[in-house]
């Protein structure tokens, strides 16, 4: 029998990566998951490890790729690069490593794509638009990024990774895809990674003070993870989108205060809201224009924020009980909205 082709997922044990691995296995791919486990969590792979098509290699893509990967190059047909810390506190805690992950790591995976003939997808970010002067953000907007600020290791690292991916594409060294991912949420987020959705939900569940940075009027647009994964796979499999970045995100925009209201509707809490200074270079507004994704991929998000948050709250409540962070039984929190 002919061996199945492999989809390699770098960063496959992370929040989005683990959902992508699961979906690719469902679609019949053999999945080779690479992760350095710095910001990923082993529990994210719990449901996958016994799947016969799944294999895991612990590796950091800033290092030469391990033999187990290189030896399978001729079976690798798709390479998804999701490997990078994505939460500001995490990616800023070792900024040099963040930059190298995007530049050196992406180069290693692009070279693997060149060697194997695999199609390559880079997960870039809405952060390439910086603190945007255009709203909503379209792919042809070139952004307003502070290249000397604390977010630069991530923003500029992703911009460099995009440049390299497009060069490989232009020179026909590899067939490339670039997704610009906007804020995404859902099960498998790290309760402790400091992002706004995980912080607000966990603080509400634990009855701890709610942290709002700035006055809460800044906006984000939140995409549920299943929608995002659908977009990533459609982009990878679409024809003729090689030299075009594509925004993937939910165009419904909320202030952080509105997000908090939605969380409170699901997890009633009397905890105090404490206002902290806005982090340096924190974008004021963010909303994707997804016209290109609609036109090229026939894609648009389907899960409304209230439904996605309800699923996410349910998962966090269970996860925090598993981690013994929460004494309340899950059923005592209101999860049915």
Interaction of residue 118 with ligand UDP, rule CB under 6 A: no
Interaction of residue 199 with ligand UDP, rule CB under 6 A: yes
Of 16, 258, 289, 293, residue with least CA distance to 126: 289
Identity of the residue, 29 or 129, whose beta carbon is nearer to ligand UDP in the bound complex = 129
Among 12, 14, 17, 88, binds ligand UDP (CB under 6 A): 88
**To 10 degrees, the CA torsion angle through 162, 164, 167, 169?**
-70
Binding mask 15-44 for ligand UDP (x = CB under 6 A): ------------------------------
Of 6, 247, 38, residue with least CA distance to 134: 247
Q: Which of residues 152-171 bind ligand UDP (CB under 6 A)?
A: none
Residue 224 appears among annotated catalytic residues: no
Interacting span for ligand UDP (CB under 6 A) from 10-18, 23-31, 210-218, 230-238: 210-218
Among 213, 257, 264, 335, binds ligand UDP (CB under 6 A): 213
Count of residues touching ligand UDP (by CB under 6 A): 15
Interacting span for ligand UDP (CB under 6 A) from 75-83, 274-282, 290-298, 318-326: 274-282
From CA 101, how far away is CA 60, in angstroms rounded? Answer: 8
Q: What is the DSSP string of 244-293?
A: -EEEES---EEEHHHHHHHHHHHS---PPEEEEPPPTT--S---B--HHH
Among 212, 228, 232, 309, binds ligand UDP (CB under 6 A): 212
Q: Residues in the chain, how many?
A: 337
- Give every CB contact of residue 27 below 8 A, 6+ residues apart in sequence: 233
Tokens of 134: 């255009």
Interaction of residue 105 with ligand UDP, rule CB under 6 A: no
Interaction of residue 128 with ligand UDP, rule CB under 6 A: no
- Catalytic hit among 154, 185, 224, 254: 154
Interacting span for ligand UDP (CB under 6 A) from 66-74, 76-84, 266-274, 278-286: 278-286
Interaction of residue 235 with ligand UDP, rule CB under 6 A: no
Among 183, 250, 262, 269, binds ligand UDP (CB under 6 A): 183
Identity of the residue, 42 or 279, whose beta carbon is nearer to ligand UDP in the bound complex = 279
CB 69 within 8 A of CB 59: yes
- 3-state SS, residue 28: coil
Chain centroid to CA 85: 9
């Amino acid at each position: 029998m002919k061996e199945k082709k492999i989809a390699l997922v770098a960063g496959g044990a992370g929040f989005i990566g683990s959902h992508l691995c699961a979906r690719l296995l469902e679609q019949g791919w053999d999945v080779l998951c690479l992760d350095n486990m710095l910001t990923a969590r082993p529990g994210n792979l719990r449901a996958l490890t016994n799947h016969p098509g799944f294999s895991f290699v612990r590796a950091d893509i800033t290092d030469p790729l391990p033999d187990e990967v290189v030896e399978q190059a001729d079976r690798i047909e798709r390479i998804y690069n999701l490997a990078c810390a994505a939460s500001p506190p995490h990616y800023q805690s070792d900024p040099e490593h963040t930059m190298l992950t995007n530049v050196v790591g992406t180069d290693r995976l692009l070279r693997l794509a060149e060697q194997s003939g695999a199609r390559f997808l880079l997960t870039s970010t809405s952060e390439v638009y910086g603190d945007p002067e255009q709203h909503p953000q379209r792919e042809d907007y070139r952004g307003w990024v502070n290249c000397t600020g604390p977010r630069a290791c991530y923003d500029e690292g992703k911009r460099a990774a995009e440049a390299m991916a497009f060069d490989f594409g232009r020179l026909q060294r590899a067939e490339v895809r670039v997704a610009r991912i906007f804020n995404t949420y859902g099960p498998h987020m790290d309760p402790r990674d400091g992002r706004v959705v995980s912080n607000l939900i966990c603080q509400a569940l634990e009855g701890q003070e709610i942290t709002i940075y700035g006055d809460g009027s800044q906006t984000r647009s939140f995409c549920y993870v299943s929608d995002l994964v659908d977009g990533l796979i459609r982009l990878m499999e679409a024809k003729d989108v090689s030299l075009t970045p594509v925004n993937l995100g939910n165009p419904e925009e909320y202030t952080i205060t509105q997000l908090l209201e939605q969380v409170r509707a699901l997890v009633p809490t009397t905890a105090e809201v404490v206002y902290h200074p806005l982090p340096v270079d924190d974008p004021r507004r963010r909303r994707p224009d997804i016209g290109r994704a609609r036109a090229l991929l026939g894609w648009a998000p389907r899960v409304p924020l209230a439904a996605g948050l309800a699923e996410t709250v349910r998962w966090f409540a269970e996860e925090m009980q598993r981690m013994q962070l929460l004494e309340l039984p899950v059923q005592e929190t209101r999860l049915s909205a």
